[in-house]
Amino acid sequence: MSLLVTGTVAFDAIETPFGKTDKIIGGAATYISLAASYFTKDVGLIAVVGDDFPQEYIDLLNSKNINTDGLQVKHGEKSFFWSGRYFNDMNSRETLITELNVLADFDPIVPASQSSPDYLMLGNLSPQVQSTLISRLAKQPKLVVMDTMNFWMDIALEDLKKTLKMVDVLTINDEEARQLSGEYSLLKASRVIRDMGPQYLIIKKGEHGALLFHGNQVFSAPAMLLEDVFDPTGAGDTFAGGFIGWLAYTDDISFENMKRAIVYGSAMASFCVEKFGTDNILNIDENQLLQRVKAFRELSYVEML
C-alpha cells in the first residue's frame, strides 16, 4: 500500500557523551521514510529543503525507493538546521541552534500522482501545515498517523486541537501526554486525548517502551535493552516509520496488528540509537531485523501456569 510522509528534512549537528557530528542528514521525515522503506516500497515524501541540501542525500533517499517528487528545493534558501547536545543520562538534551530557514513558510504541495495515499504519516511540523496537507489530498487515507511535540502545545494549541480532529493515531511522549491532557495518570490522560479526536494513542516512553491505547484496550511494549544508547536523535521518528511502514505493508489496521507494528517500530528505533544520526538505519538486513523482533518478543514473553 502507498504511504505518504511529511515532516522535516534537515541538517542536524549532534553532540552526545560518545562524540559529536558535523552537519548530517536529519529531520523527522528522513527518519520516518527511511524506516518505513524497509516495509513498503511505495513511500512518497512531502518536505522542503534549501539548495544547500546535497544531491547525494536526495539520491540516498531515492536509492531506498523513497519518491522525492514532493521534496521542494528552494533556490537561494537554506535547509532547516538543528543542533543539540545530549546530557549523560541521554533522557535530556539542550538545543544549541535552531535555524528554521525554508521551514518558516513551508507550503506542503502534494504532487497529483501522490494525492491519494493509502496511509499518511504526519511527522512533527506545525499542526497548521499538517492539517493543510490533509485538506489537499484527493481522498481520505485509510489511516492518518500524527506525531507532534510540546513546542506546538505551547505556541499553537488551538491549531493542534483542530488537527487532532482529523487524525486516527497520535504519537507523543509521556510528558507531552500529561501536558496535553492535564492528567498525571497515563490511563486518564489517554482518555482525555482520545476525546480530542484520535481513536488511537501511542505514548512513547523512551527507554521504558511504548503504550498503545484504543477503546478499553491497552498494549504495553518494552524497550530493547541496549549496551549503550549512543544517540537518541530520530528514535521517535524511526519508531513511527517502522510502525506505519508495517501497517502499510500488511494493510491491516486492527488493534492486534497495531501491536505488531509497535514491535516493529520499537525494533527499528533500537537500531537507530546504536549509532549517530541515520548511520545505523541505512543498512539493516532482514535477518538482523527479524532477530531483533524475536528478541523483543522474548523480552516480555511469559507463560503463566
Q: Assess 226 for contact with a copy of itself (CB under 8 A).
A: yes
Q: Assess 251 for contact with a copy of itself (CB under 8 A).
A: no
Please state the closest distance from residue 42 (CB atom) to a copy of itself, in A: 20
Q: Indicate the SS3 state at residue 214.
A: strand
Q: Assess 89 for contact with a copy of itself (CB under 8 A).
A: yes
Please state the closest distance from residue 34 (CB atom) to a copy of itself, in A: 23
> Using the rule CB under 8 A, which residue among 90, 103, 160, 166 binds a copy of itself?
90
Q: Assess 184 for contact with a copy of itself (CB under 8 A).
A: yes
Handedness of CA 178, 108, 70, 138 (dihedral sign): positive
Distance CA 174, CA 176 (A): 5
Nearer to a copy of itself among residue 62 and residue 220 (C-beta) = 220
* Only segment of 5-13, 40-48, 86-94, 98-106 that touches a copy of itself (CB under 8 A): 86-94
Angle formed at CA 96 by CA 93 and CA 100, multiple of 5 degrees: 110
> Using the rule CB under 8 A, which residue among 32, 48, 186, 202 binds a copy of itself?
186
H-assigned helices in 79-123: none
Q: At what angle do helices 255-272 and 286-299 cross, to 10 degrees?
A: 110
Please state the closest distance from residue 304 (CB atom) to a copy of itself, in A: 6
What does the block give as the cell for 208? Answer: 521504558
> Using the rule CB under 8 A, which residue among 229, 240, 268, 272 binds a copy of itself?
229
Q: Assess 300 for contact with a copy of itself (CB under 8 A).
A: yes
CB 276 within 8 A of CB 86: no
The single-letter code of the amino acid at 77 is: E
**DSSP H or E run through 144:** strand 143-147
> Using the rule CB under 8 A, which residue among 69, 208, 288, 291 binds a copy of itself?
208
> Using the rule CB under 8 A, which residue among 22, 158, 227, 286 binds a copy of itself?
227
- What is the distance in angstroms between the CA of the first residue and the CA of the last residue of the chain? 41
CB 79 within 8 A of CB 51: no
Q: Assess 88 for contact with a copy of itself (CB under 8 A).
A: yes
Q: Assess 153 for contact with a copy of itself (CB under 8 A).
A: no
Instruction: Name residue, grid cell 499542526.
Output: 127
Distance CA 86, CA 112 (A): 41
* Chain residues in the site for a copy of itself (CB under 8 A): 88-90, 184-188, 205, 207-209, 211, 218-222, 225-229, 250, 256, 259-260, 262-263, 293, 297, 299-300, 302-305
